[in-house]
Structure 1
């Protein structure tokens, strides 16, 4: 039963100040790491940071702008039910994939969609959260090197339906190890990153 013996007082209001901005969540501070540190230190935890997504029919320009505004280089590609159907990276957009697609199928670059250059679900590999929690930064570096990839998805399959829990980026690893990244935020080629990691402190 709802009690009706309490009265509520309206809160004071103010006019919205001119030139007002708005708060954004602070980006997690990237702590320095060594190759011997726990691998979770270089994982973007999607329990704490919202994943940025796009749709298969979004234009490449829209996907690129979403990456720029979010300060990321990878978007999860989802369907209408928010099921992950692939990923798209800045390299997919800015590299050879658009050129190759146009050479094969024709058309104009502005007509290209995310689905044309993304890595589809069937071609994706992921790490298990359990293994990342018990692994080291150096183990993840070795995994990325073996796969020849700049990113890795981390899946939590410990409780019911598996979900993507984290994203690991070679660019973030380089930054946390204290190695410079190109001014526009682009990752080194993995060969360059690997060479830098050889000299990283243990």
Structure 2
């Protein structure tokens, strides 16, 4: 048996491995690794409100969404949990508190993937070009055994590179119209 010798960090410098991302960085540097999916997974029955709290504590993370038996069914990140997206789903019978991750996640069968081998020989700009040509905002990364090993998110890359984000169309009018229709609101003259 081996005895470990713990010590306090005190004034010892601790380096955290973090690479600044640029367009010529290896594409793998932009990948969120899925080493232990239980650390980055949420149950599909979790409420959207609770998931938003988790997302705020782990910015930039894309979570796997799992069913009751632990099999992953999809992914959810900031774009799926954005307030403007959630408001478009609100109606008389559906409230933000009754929505679950199963209602808002990107289903597994709608996601696209690349192989880890292909990714190792690509740059961040190659990934952005691929994502813009497919209209996808995410790519799953699978190894030679088709095991999920990472996720690449275009919004995360855009933020890290400080690139201008794609302009989002204003949904305010659409949300007001939907609330009007779903709640039969009358406009006072």
TM-score by length of 2: 0.68
List gaps (5 residues or longer) in structure 1.
Answer: 1-8, 10-25, 181-187, 193-202
* Equivalent residues of 1:59, 1:112 under 8 A apart: yes
Counterparts of 1:98-117 in structure 2 under 5 Å? Answer: 98-103=86-91, 106-117=93-104
Task: Give me the whole-angstrom Cα distance separating, in 1, the residues matched to 2:110 and 2:65.
Answer: 13
For residues 9-35 of structure 1, the C-alpha deviation after alignment (integer angstroms, 9 at most, x for no partner) is 9xxxxxxxxxxxxxxxx8641333333
SS in structure 1 of the partner of residue 52 of structure 2: helix
SS in structure 2 of the partner of residue 167 of structure 1: strand
Aligned twin of 1:75:
63
Counterparts of 1:123-134 in structure 2 under 5 Å? Answer: 123-134=110-121
Q: Report deviation, 1:111.
A: 1.1
Question: In the comparison of the two structures, how many residue pairs are matched?
Answer: 157
Counterparts of 1:1-202 in structure 2 under 5 Å? Answer: 28-35=17-24, 37-47=25-35, 51-103=39-91, 106-156=93-143, 158-159=144-145, 162-177=146-161, 179=162, 189-190=165-166
* Equivalent residues of 2:48, 2:101 under 8 A apart: yes
List gaps (5 residues or longer) in structure 2.
Answer: 4-14, 169-189
Task: Give me the whole-angstrom Cα distance separating, in 2, the residues matched to 1:115 and 1:48.
Answer: 21
Aligned twin of 2:176:
none
TM-score by length of 1: 0.64
Given the superposition, is the C-alpha separation of residues 109 and 172 from structure 1 closer, same or farther in structure 2, using an over 3 Å criterion?
Answer: closer
For residues 80-111 of structure 1, the C-alpha deviation after alignment (integer angstroms, 9 at most, x for no partner) is 332210111222122544333334x8322111
Task: Give me the whole-angstrom Cα distance separating, in 1, the residues matched to 2:86 and 2:158.
Answer: 27
- Higher mean alpha-carbon deviation, 83-92 vs 49-58, is at 49-58
RMSD (Å) for aligned C-alpha atoms: 3.1
Given the superposition, is the C-alpha separation of residues 191 and 126 from structure 1 closer, same or farther in structure 2, using an over 3 Å criterion?
Answer: farther
Bigger Rg over Cα? 1
* Equivalent residues of 1:33, 1:41 under 8 A apart: no
* Equivalent residues of 1:127, 1:155 under 8 A apart: yes
